[in-house]
Amino acid sequence: MGASYGSFCPVAKAMELLDERWTMLVIRELFSGSRRFNELRRGLPRMSPSLLSRRLQQLAAAGLVARQEFGSEVEYELTTAGRELEPIVVALGVWGTRWIPELGDRDLDPKLLLWDMHRMVDHSAVPPRRTVLWFRFPAAARQVRHWWLVITPDEADVCDFDPGHDIDVTVTADLRCLTDVWRGERTWASALRAGEVAFEGPEQLRRALPGWFKPFTFAGIPKPETPILS
């Protein structure tokens, strides 16, 4: 737990636990469906494993997270107290979308983008077989330039190496543009018209691809005329 504010105020007492770096993002990941340590790491790629382990221990000690062992596997789950933070996490996301819309270069991460997209695959809309999307970001650093999204009827996975399957659609994109599309700041159609995103593959699949994803959690939130950071 963080340093004490020396106050009886319940906001102060809550923030003694919650305002340490990465803590609320760990909680957000648990709300988003991550259960295992490696899943949490993939959703928080810039958080060190040692710090993630420490935060999970702190949250468990505070009664917000339960650690469960299944043989050699360990899973983490929010407790009743942890789940009560959901409206706070959502409210923070809504506020950030409305008032801090601009992204710096450091905020653009293809690994995090694809991880978020894979969680929002609409399996009822994707062909009922294995479907493979190859995402290419030509302007990104070499080590994060290529990603594969492998979708089956029951699950989706992100690979940073060629899984060896036939490619159904290749998506070549400017990272900032595709991030804006995902966040709902731009439409797939406008990005395709501008040539900042391009699909390669059978026409039927190319036309259907945007509908294979459910909307980003915070897409469509109305913006004020003058954000505080623009």
The answer on 109 and 82 residing in a single domain is no
Structural domain includes residue 223: no
Do 94 and 139 belong to one domain? no
* Rounded (5°) CA angle 91-94-100: 125
State the pTM of this model.
0.87
Q: Is there a single domain that holds both residue 39 and residue 135?
A: no
Q: Among 8-12, 20-24, 57-61, which stretch is predicted with the lowest mean pLDDT?
A: 8-12
Does residue 12 carry a pLDDT above 70? yes
pLDDT of 230 > 60? The answer is no
Cα(190)–Cα(176) distance, integer angstroms = 14
- Please give the average per-residue pLDDT across 30-54, as a whole number: 93
**Rounded distance between C-alpha atoms, residue 175 and residue 217, angstroms:** 19
- Domain holding 177: CATH number? 3.30.1050.10
Q: Which of 29-33, 37-41, 96-100, 168-172 has the lowest mean pLDDT?
A: 96-100
Q: Are residue 117 and residue 95 in the same domain, yes or no?
A: no
d(CA 185, CA 56): 33
Sheet holding 169-173, edge to edge: 156-159, 146-151, 131-136, 169-173, 197-200
Query: What's the confidence (pLDDT) of residue 229?
Result: 59
pLDDT of residue 184: 93
Last residue of a domain, one of 76, 99, 122: 99
Give the model's pLDDT for residue 224: 83
Share of the chain above pLDDT 90, in %: 78
The pLDDT score that the predictor gives to residue 190 is 97
Indicate whether 168 and 143 sit together in one domain.
Answer: yes
Tokens standing for 5? 């504010």
Question: Do 201 and 150 belong to one domain?
Answer: yes
Ranges assigned E (strand) in 143-218: 146-151, 156-159, 169-173, 197-200
Band (pLDDT 50/70/90 cuts) for residue 17 is: confident
Range of the domain at 57: 10-99
Mean of pLDDT values over 105-128: 94
| pLDDT reading at 91 higher than 70 | yes
Same domain, 54 and 130: no
CB 16 within 8 A of CB 4: yes
pLDDT in tens, 190-224: 999 999 999 999 999 999 999 999 999 899 888 88
CATH code of the domain containing 14: 1.10.10.10
Q: Across residues 139-165, what is the average pLDDT?
A: 95
List Cβ neighbours of 133 (8 Å cut-off, separation of 6 or more). 148, 149, 151, 167, 168, 169, 170, 171, 209
Q: Please enumerate in sequence order all residues whose Cβ is within 8 A of that of 180, keeping only pairs 6 or more positions apart, or say none.
A: 186, 191
Clarify whether residues 115 and 198 are in a common domain: yes
- State how far the Cα of 42 lies from the Cα of 49, in Å rounded to an integer: 11
Q: Which of 80, 99, 118 is the last residue of a domain?
A: 99
Residue 95 has pLDDT above 90, yes or no: yes
147 and 91 inside one domain = no
What's the mean pLDDT when you consider all of the chain? 93
Residue 70 has pLDDT above 90, yes or no: no
Residue 219 lies in a domain: no
What does the alpha-carbon distance between residue 115 and residue 208 come to, in Å, rounded to a whole number? 20
- What tokens were used for 62? 């505070």
Cα of 228 vs its chain's centroid, Å: 24
Task: Examine the domain organization and report whether 89 and 115 are in the same domain.
Answer: no
Give the residues across from 199 on adjacent strands: 171
Give the total number of structural domains in the chain: 2
> What would the mean pLDDT of 130-136 be, rounded to a whole number?
98
CA distances from 101 to 14, 167, 230 (A): 27, 34, 7
Examine residue 35 and state whether it is found in any structural domain, yes or no. Answer: yes
User: Are both 91 and 134 inside the same structural domain?
Assistant: no
Query: Among 34-38, 71-75, 77-81, which stretch is predicted with the lowest mean pLDDT?
Result: 71-75
Least confident segment among 23-27, 56-60, 97-101, 205-209: 97-101
Do 95 and 15 belong together in one domain?
A: yes
Rounded Cα gap, residues 212 and 189, in angstroms: 15
